[in-house]
Amino acid sequence: MSASKTNGHGRAPLSASSLFFTPLPPAHVVTPGKESHGRYMLTVPWNRVSGWGQPRIGPRQDLSFDPLAGVLQYAVTCFEGMKCYKTDQGDLRLFRPSKNFDRLKRSGARLGLPCDWDNDELLELFAKLMALEAPLVPNTDGSNLYIRPTLLETSEGFGIKEDAFAAEALLYVVTTLNLGKGLYASSEGEGKGIKLDACKEFIRAWPGGTGSYKLGANYGTVNISKKPGYAMSLWLHGKEDFISEAGAMNVFIIKEAADGYTEFITMSLSNGIVLPGITRESIIELLNEHAEGKREFPIQGVPKNIRVVERDLSMPEIINGLEDGTLKGMFGCGTGVVVVQVGEIQYQGKTYQIPSNPLIKTLRDTITGIQRGKIDEGKSWSFKVPAWNPEGADGQSDEEVTAA
Ligand SMILES: *Cc1c(COP(=O)(O)O)cnc(C)c1O
């Protein structure tokens, strides 16, 4: 399905210049229990005939839909997870935002939702939403503004439709503070790291399914598998017990190869059961450039003789690697945790301790350094959010202001 199929008939494109801004009411009070959320939200409605409607940024509020809306009946919804960080200089940074926008388009296309916006227009709207919340974001290590763009079907997704496309949809963006900060602190070192429960009972993804798309349905249906005491499920697939991912993270193992190289092994994306993580992709890119000696700044502390291998990786391989001592560490990565050491796996009634590896912290420091603008990887991965301070942004004014 191509983007042009849902566009090109005089439908309005998504346009940041028509933004309508509503400041917080003068006596803005935070709803109890929602203190950790951003105060504003961005909404952009979409209609199959008229295209994208007026983008609005205003106080965060409840949404309402017809009880037969596609999102409510058949989970026609997809999302993204992004983080905004504050640098020591006080400016806000987004990490490779167009990668997330492209992935949201891909998820939307899988569901018959619109996927034809210009990423630069969306980024401009995004940046304004971030800028409004800037005063709330701390600049301490691990702190962040987590961003949740969501795209869903608001029209009736019910009955027999002529084709798979939604008649009406909504793109909205809300934020929350410091997601993942707790896990982030679980840190690295001997006896540390998160505990995973290797799950054979519930299967997260399978070939031909939707595992490689960030669809709401992928998460709601496997929530119940997480056992108390474990940070996440380790998702297995196939009779070989291949490891696809853990929770909502991609997984790497660090292994000593027969030729003495240090290998970073992760499940390949080719069979469509692994979510193509942007943290995963960034780590692979940095490690490959390091290995090829391309980088002007090699990753400090990473040996020269390394390689990245994308292939199937099974639980029996992990166990063998523990027995013969070639398994040198394991970590998960994703926007939520950045990079986190795996300390223990529970599998078929046994508990396996995974050795720690200082390379995990090195990788985490490298990625967070880039995200916070402390390390320049030379590829403009860190986007600096321009300041935006419309009248009434902090609830001082009761007038509605249109911002161009
Ligand atoms: C979001 C997600 C990831 C991580 O992707 P990032 O782009 O690195 O945040 C990995 N696995 C699953 C299942 C996810 O939903």
Ligand 1 atom closest to the Cα of residue 82 is 9
Please give the backbone phi and psi of residue 152, each rounded to the nearest 5 degrees, phi first: -150, 160
Q: What is the pTM of this model?
A: 0.93
Residue 50 has pLDDT above 90, yes or no: yes
With a 6 Å cutoff on the Cβ, whether 83 touches ligand 1 is no
Q: Return the pLDDT at 296.
A: 62
Distance between CA atoms of 398 and 40, rounded to whole angstroms? 15
Which pLDDT tens digit goes with each residue over 299-335?
A: 788 888 999 999 999 999 999 999 999 999 999 999 9
Sign of CA dihedral 198, 200, 201, 207: positive
Which pLDDT tens digit goes with each residue over 345-376?
A: 999 999 999 999 999 999 999 999 999 999 99
With a 6 Å cutoff on the Cβ, whether 111 touches ligand 1 is no
Q: Return the pLDDT at 181.
A: 73
Quote the tokens at residue 56: 């609005």
Please say which residue of 127, 161, 180 terminates a domain: 180
Q: Which of 54-58, 180-184, 207-211 has the lowest mean pLDDT?
A: 180-184
Please say which residue of 124, 154, 180 terminates a domain: 180
Residue 252 has pLDDT above 60, yes or no: yes
In this prediction, residue 7 has a pLDDT band, given cuts at 50, 70 and 90, of very low
Same-domain status, 173 and 310: no
What is the total count of domains within the chain?
A: 2
Distance between CA atoms of 336 and 81, rounded to whole angstroms? 8
Residue 235 has pLDDT above 90, yes or no: yes
| Tokens 């997601």, located at residue | 179
Q: Return the pLDDT at 347.
A: 97
With a 6 Å cutoff on the Cβ, whether 211 touches ligand 1 is no
- Residues forming a β-bridge with 149: 173
Distance between CA atoms of 116 and 4, rounded to whole angstroms? 7
Q: Which of 109-113, 337-341, 393-397 has the lowest mean pLDDT?
A: 393-397
Residue 297 has pLDDT above 80, yes or no: no
Please say which residue of 161, 180, 199 terminates a domain: 180
| Burial environment of residue 174 by CB neighbours within 10 A (0 to 12, 13 to 18, 19 or more) | middle
Residue 246 lies in a domain: yes
Same-domain status, 222 and 88: no
Residue 62 lies in a domain: yes
**Does residue 43 come out as left (phi exceeding 0), alpha (psi in the -120 to 50 range) or beta?**
beta
With a 6 Å cutoff on the Cβ, whether 275 touches ligand 1 is yes
With a 6 Å cutoff on the Cβ, whether 334 touches ligand 1 is yes
Ligand 1 atom closest to the Cα of residue 280 is 8
Ligand 1 atom closest to the Cα of residue 99 is 7
CA trace torsion 186, 189, 195, 199 (10° rounding): 130
Same-domain status, 140 and 224: no
Quote the tokens at residue 210: 């939707």
CATH number for 42: 3.30.470.10
What is the average pLDDT score of the chain?
Answer: 91
In this prediction, residue 3 has a pLDDT band, given cuts at 50, 70 and 90, of very low
**Residues constituting the chain:** 404
Residue 378 lies in a domain: no
State which residues form the domain around 346: 189-355
Q: How far is the CA of 190 from the centre of ligand 1 (A)?
A: 26
Q: Return the pLDDT at 187.
A: 62
